[in-house]
Amino acid sequence: MLDDSKGINFNSPVYADTFRRNWEFEQYKNQEHYWLELDYYIMRDAWEAERHPYGTELDVDIKDAMGRPIFRDISADEREAISSRGYRLINAAKTIASNNEAVYKVTELYGYAPDMKFIKYTNEAIPRFGTEDPAGAITETVVASGNSYNASWERYTINLGEKAGNFRVGDMVTIFGLTKDIANWSNVIAKPVAVYKVSDTTIEVPDFQPTYSKSGNSISPANMLKKLNRTETWWWDGTFTVSRDISSRAAGNVKVALRNEITYHYEVPEMEERFTPVDSTGLEVDIINLATTPNIGTWKEMIANREEVIATDPELEDVYTMYKKTVKYTRCR
């Protein structure tokens, strides 16, 4: 507690003889820039009339109760930096400082907005755009062994050998059986299905409901396996392929490192927009293809060039009388 019996006139601010550096920017590993804190004492009844309004510029020549400059024990370079930064009052916190509660201690915080971007990284889950790439069309031949069917899951495991790695989960594929004797037998056709799982040598797909091309009759999973594995070639012999018309990836979420750009402002700043692809009508979509902006070709170039886009809506936070804006970037992927 301040002893207010020493005869000091506290009807106007009486400053303590030192200042403190407030390391606001140390959270971004930056100690070049800092804010300043000063303490003064004043009679409670005089505070409303004498207090400094927010926005008051820092007086670098301000003196303490003994008439000594508060900024006396700093280098000429630091004094020049403090003088040029444009410090202004952004907060004033008062507490009782005397035994009779007649005097306030006021801690003034002088801040400024450095003309720079601070960088910080965070690990967050963000949307990942799906893609449809017609340049990714492929056809691979099914290995005539090692194919199976899980009746409980109604799912085929198709053996493609080392070519299985050319497919991705979510790809839409079509199974086709080309008979060696089209005069007497039918080709096998099936509806497109999405790849459920990819391993080193196989892909898993839902039941693709195969039928004979001529009669349209359905083929049971048991008979389909005989064809895939060529265990009864005396009544149907041919080659099966798995085709993908486009390389596709389903939209989803992914957890990635985001590069945060943080800036400080005296006024409410302009806010950037997060990146999102749009269709020909301007509506937001989560699948990038030939008809979107950007289209799949441009998107692939952006990925190759390791370009960044704004991942989420920018954030704006009050910091006393100032504003802190955070814009989060992610690499195209």
Query: What's the pLDDT score for residue 90?
Result: 98
The single residue listed with the structure tokens 């900024």 is 71
Give the DSSP letter string of 21-35. EE-GGGGGT--S--E
Query: What's the pLDDT score for residue 102?
Result: 87
Rounded to whole angstroms, how far apart are CA atoms 252 and 170? Answer: 11
Rounded to whole angstroms, how far apart are CA atoms 59 and 69? Answer: 10
Which one, of 173, 250, 177, lies nearest residue 204 by Cα?
173
List phi, psi (to 5°) of 151: -65, -35
Residue 4 has pLDDT above 80, yes or no: no
Secondary structure tally for the chain: helices H, strands E: 4, 22
Mean pLDDT of the chain: 93
Query: What's the pLDDT score for residue 172?
Result: 87
Top pLDDT among 100 and 7 is at 100
pLDDT band with cut points at 50, 70 and 90 for residue 129: very high
Task: Say if residues 158 and 227 touch (Cβ distance below 8 Å).
Answer: no
Query: What's the pLDDT score for residue 6?
Result: 56
Task: Say if residues 51 and 282 touch (Cβ distance below 8 Å).
Answer: no
Domain boundaries, the chain: 14-111, 118-131+253-331, 138-245
Least confident interval from 133-137, 275-279, 281-285:
133-137
Residue type present at position 295: N
**pLDDT mean over 170-184:** 90
Percent of the chain with pLDDT over 70: 98
Residue 273 has pLDDT above 90, yes or no: yes
Give the DSSP letter string of 57-113. BP-TT-B-TTS-BTT-SS-HHHHHHHHHTT-EEEEEEEEE-BTTS-EEEEEEEEE--
Task: Say if residues 288 and 131 touch (Cβ distance below 8 Å).
Answer: yes
**How many angstroms separate the first and last alpha carbons of the chain?**
60
List phi, psi (to 5°) of 9: -85, 110
65-84 pLDDT, tens digit per residue, is 999 999 999 999 999 999 99
Least confident interval from 20-34, 41-55, 147-161, 250-264:
41-55
Query: What's the pLDDT score for residue 5?
Result: 47
DSSP state letter for 142: P
Query: What's the pLDDT score for residue 255?
Result: 95
Residue 3 has pLDDT above 90, yes or no: no
CATH 2.40.30 fits 138-245, yes or no: yes
Rounded to whole angstroms, how far apart are CA atoms 252 and 130? Answer: 7
Least confident interval from 6-20, 201-215, 227-241, 294-308:
6-20
Rounded to whole angstroms, how far apart are CA atoms 158 and 171? Answer: 14
Residue 1 has pLDDT above 60, yes or no: no
**pLDDT mean over 152-157:** 97
193-232 pLDDT, tens digit per residue, is 989 999 999 999 999 999 999 999 999 999 999 999 999 8
Rounded to whole angstroms, how far apart are CA atoms 330 and 333? Answer: 9
